[in-house]
Each structure stands twice: as structure tokens, then as C-alpha cells.
Amino acid sequence: MVTAEPSRPRGRRPAGEDARGAIVTAARSEFAARGYDGTTLRGIARAAGVDPRLVHHYFDGKEDVFVAALELPVSPAELVSRVLDGPPGELGERLARFFLGTWDPPQGREVLVGLLRAAVSSPDAAHLLREFVTQNVFARIASVVDLPDAQLRADLMAAQLVGAAVLRYVVRVEPLASAPVETLVALLGPTLQRYLTAPDSGGTTGR
Amino acid sequence: MVTAEPSRPRGRRPAGEDARGAIVTAARSEFAARGYDGTTLRGIARAAGVDPRLVHHYFDGKEDVFVAALELPVSPAELVSRVLDGPPGELGERLARFFLGTWDPPQGREVLVGLLRAAVSSPDAAHLLREFVTQNVFARIASVVDLPDAQLRADLMAAQLVGAAVLRYVVRVEPLASAPVETLVALLGPTLQRYLTAPDSGGTTGR
């Protein structure tokens, strides 16, 4: 049970921070134990020993708690919104720039490498990430792809970015590891754009 | 020291297999301890307690020992040769088909997931894989890219395939995890081909 401590001097660390911290800690355990779909805000409140209304006070919803639990530098939903907002012909470029802009700084890089490690080494973490990313990122990107295989195209766009992250941040293959962000944006942007807009396989072999 | 056991019945398990096995086991330790560049065939022979000529008897060279040590289903050099041999306009498609053809069967998938886990969780394994893949795969693919940033383009092609493997085999994102190989080849082929042949960034924004 998280309560304010009246004897503590004001301004040192507000009681609200303790409650929020307890919610985030409980959320981490709940997500790990139950997966993204199986976790509820009510269950998180119970595990944190707080009133469910307090969870709603600090967080906009389950995704918001999850983002806090993972210490993501930016909400995926917010990132997707910002990427989708702009000229459709430059969507691939914006996606590449936002992705690298978010994960390239040291703090983002650390979080992303942690997520990749967890996803690759733990089936539970992979399951959690899969549910979360499918609902909050892939499905929303696929919604703007007006082509057959929209969801699969969104998956392959994600694959290009995930693979670039693995080789750039984890395996550190050169010259990819040291390439400037804008050089990568110029190469990745059209790749992503092709998945969004190329009406067929784009090949010349007619397969 | 590995020697034949004269008392053992013939045909049960030839002594040569023991020597080869000892070399592969020693190679695994040497590669793990010294990295790909730092490992020598002479050092592997010493660690295995065999004559260096025996290593040359069983293996064509360092890459061949490495492939055996990693239990790869196919030699990367052989795979690259087979991919490079054919019409240049279909190179991307061949690369996608060979990659998925190698790693999609259960045995290949198991090896690849093991490699990905090792690369993501161990800096030593990442280092080893980086040196090996850079020399034996990326550099050879980059050699057929007659464009600026050839090596970076090869890295991003690898990133597309590595990311697809992570999401298909490890995180198991749908529909990517269940998509037929040929559906993926039709989407991945042109992506890889674009890195090989698109003279500029390929975008319409002129960046």
C-alpha cells in the first residue's frame, strides 16, 4: 500500500511520485506475467495496492502504462501519429528519420538494445512485444497501406528497421554502425516507401 | 591428443570422426576466445592436440572450420556464390529465396535463432559474427554493387533479411511468421534489388 508520509519534508519527493512509481513497478510485473493482452489497469492497481482511479489519474490507458514500464523515450502511438501526419509520398522517409531520431541517441539506443535482448532471449518478452507492437504500431501503419498484403508490408517495413537496429547498435557492423543518420534516411526512406506504395512486387520478373 | 583406438570394432565410429570432432570443439573455443580474425588454423590444431596437417585434411580453411563450428546448414561463401551466379536483375529475388530457403526449414531456423540470440546477448559472439559476416558475406555482395555506398547498401540488405528473421522466427509477428516463402520473396526481392541497382536514394524528394 502506497501512502503519503506526512512526516517527510515537503518538496523532497512528493507522495504522488511514490504512487506512480509503485504503479509502474507493478505494471512491469503484470505485463511480464500476463502479457500485454492479459494485463488490465484494474489488475495493475490491485498489484500496486492503489485505487484504480489513481492509475487513470497518472496514465491515459494501458499503452501509456506500458510505455512508462518500458521506459520508452517516446510513445509508439505518438510516434506513429507524427509519422502518418504529412505528405504520403514522404512517409517512408519520415518513418526512417523518426525511428533513427528516437533510437540513435545514447538513451534511446540503450532502451532499444534492452528490448531487443529481451525479445530474442525470452519467449515471454517476445510475446509481450509482439502483442504490443502489433496493436499499436504495425496495425496503424498497415491502415494507411491501400494494397493487398498491407499487414505483411508493415511487418517487412518493421523488419527493415529492426534489422538495421540490430546491425547498427548491437552487432555494430561497419559502415552501418557509423553512418550518419541522414545517409541512412536517404537509403531506408525509399525502401519503406516502396512497401507502402508499390502496387505489385515491384520486380521485373513478373513473379 | 586424439588417437585411433585399435581395440574398437571397425565401422562403429571411425577414428577420423573423433579427430574432426576434436578440431571442431577446439575451434569453437578458439573462435570464442580470440574472435574470427585472431584465430588461426595452427592455433586450432594446437588446442585440439592434432597435427596442423590434419586440420587441412578435414577443412578447406578457416571459414570452413567456422561453418562446422557453428553447425551452419550451408557455407555462407557457397550461398553467396550461388546467389551471385545468375541474371543481375534477379539478384535480389535469388538472395531472398536462398536466405529463406536456408533458414526456414526447422534445422536452419534453430541454428539461426541460436546465432541471433548469441549475437544479441554476447558482445564476443557479436564481434565474432561481425568479423565473419563482414568478410565472407557483406564484402562479397558489396563487390557486385557498382554504386557509391556499396558496403552500406550491402549492410542494409543484410539488415532487411536479419530483421525479417527476427520478426518471423523469434518474435513471431503475424502475418510475417506464417507467410509462404514465395510471398515473402516477391516482396523482399525488389527491396534487395533496389539497394543493388537504384542509382540514387530512389526517393522523389531529392534528398
ipTM value: 0.73
Q: Say how far residue B105 (Cα) sits from the centre of its chain.
A: 15
Phi, then psi, of A83 in degrees rounded to 5: -70, -40
Residue ranges of the alpha helices (H) in A2-61? 15-38, 41-48, 52-58
pLDDT at B91 over 60: yes
Which residue in the set B121, B153, B186 is minimally distant from A207, CB to CB?
A: B186
Contact, B77 vs B63, CB < 8 A?
A: yes
Q: What is the mean pLDDT of the segment spanning A180-203? A: 84
pLDDT at A189 over 70: yes
**Local structure of residue A9 (DSSP, 8 states):** P
Q: What is the mean pLDDT of the segment spanning A169-188? A: 93
CA distance A16 to chain B (A): 36
CA distance B190 to chain A (A): 5
Contacts of A117 in chain B (CB under 8 A): 120-121
Distance, in Å, from the CA atom of B23 to the CA atom of B17, rounded to the nearest integer, reads 10
Give the range with max mean pLDDT: A42-46, A197-201, B193-197: A42-46
Contact, A27 vs A68, CB < 8 A?
A: yes
Which pLDDT band, with edges at 50, 70 and 90, does B205 fall under?
very low
Which pLDDT band, with edges at 50, 70 and 90, does B12 fall under?
very low
Point out the least confidently predicted range of A35-39, B9-13, B175-179. B9-13
Distance, in Å, from the CA atom of A156 to the CA atom of A118, rounded to the nearest integer, reads 21
Cell of B5: 583406438
Distance, in Å, from the CA atom of A115 to the CA atom of A15, rounded to the nearest integer, reads 30
Which pLDDT band, with edges at 50, 70 and 90, does B144 fall under?
confident
CA dihedral B173, B101, B95, B38 (to 10 degrees): 90
Which pLDDT band, with edges at 50, 70 and 90, does A197 fall under?
confident
Res A161: pLDDT: 93
Distance, in Å, from the CA atom of A202 to the CA atom of B55, rounded to the nearest integer, reads 47
Point out the least confidently predicted range of A32-36, A50-54, A79-83, A157-161. A32-36
Distance, in Å, from the CA atom of B164 to the CA atom of B177, rounded to the nearest integer, reads 9
Which pLDDT band, with edges at 50, 70 and 90, does A15 fall under?
low
Helix%, strand%, coil% for chain A, nearest 5: 70, 0, 30
Distance, in Å, from the CA atom of B74 to the CA atom of B91, rounded to the nearest integer, reads 19
Is A201 within 8 Å of B186 when comparing Cβ atoms? yes
**CATH 1.10.357.10 is right for the domain spanning B73-197:** yes
pLDDT, mean over chain B: 81
CATH 1.10.10.60 domain residues, chain A: 15-68
Written as one string, the DSSP assignment of chain B is -----TTSPTTSS-HHHHHHHHHHHHHHHHHHHHHHHH--HHHHHHHHTS-HHHHHHH-SSHHHHHHHHHT-SS-HHHHHHHHHSS-GGGHHHHHHHHHHHHHSSHHHHHHHHHHHHHHHH-HHHHHHHHHHHIIIIIHHHHTT--STTHHHHHHHHHHHHHHHHIIIIIS--TTGGG--HHHHHHHHHHHHHHHHH-SS---SS--
Contacts of A185 in chain B (CB under 8 A): 207
Contacts of B51 (CB under 8 A, 6+ apart): B45
Provide the 10 A C-beta neighbour count for residue A105: 11
Contacts of B163 in chain A (CB under 8 A): 158-166
Q: B144 or B24, which is more confident?
A: B24
Does a cis peptide bond (omega within 30 degrees of 0) precede residue B175?
yes
CATH of domain B15-68: 1.10.10.60
pLDDT in tens, B23-50: 998 988 887 777 777 889 999 999 999 9
A196 → chain B, closest CA residue = B187
Is B89 within 8 Å of A130 when comparing Cβ atoms? no
Res A82: pLDDT: 82
Res B127: pLDDT: 78
pLDDT, mean over chain A: 81
Is A185 within 8 Å of B207 when comparing Cβ atoms? yes
Which residue in the set B89, B152, B165 is minimally distant from A187, CB to CB?
A: B152
Cell of B60: 578447406
Res B2: pLDDT: 46
Contacts of B93 (CB under 8 A, 6+ apart): A203, A205, A207, B185, B189, B190, B192, B193
Contacts of B166 in chain A (CB under 8 A): 116, 119-120, 159, 162-163, 166
Q: What is the mean pLDDT of the segment spanning A84-96? A: 89
CATH 1.10.357.10 domain residues, chain B: 73-197
CA distance A205 to chain B (A): 7
pLDDT at A5 over 70: no
pLDDT at B197 over 90: no
Which residue in the set A117, A161, A201 is minimally distant from B190, CB to CB?
A: A201
Contacts of A161 in chain B (CB under 8 A): 163
Burial category of B154 from C-beta neighbours within 10 Å (exposed 0-12, middle 13-18, buried 19 and up): buried
The amino acid that residue A195 corresponds to is Y
B126 → chain A, closest CA residue = A171
Res B130: pLDDT: 79
pLDDT in tens, A122-176: 777 777 777 777 777 777 778 877 888 888 998 999 999 999 999 999 888 889 9
A139 → chain B, closest CA residue = B174
Contact, A129 vs A115, CB < 8 A?
A: yes
Is B207 within 8 Å of A187 when comparing Cβ atoms? no
B128 → chain A, closest CA residue = A171
Q: B159 or A2, which is more confident?
A: B159
Res A199: pLDDT: 66
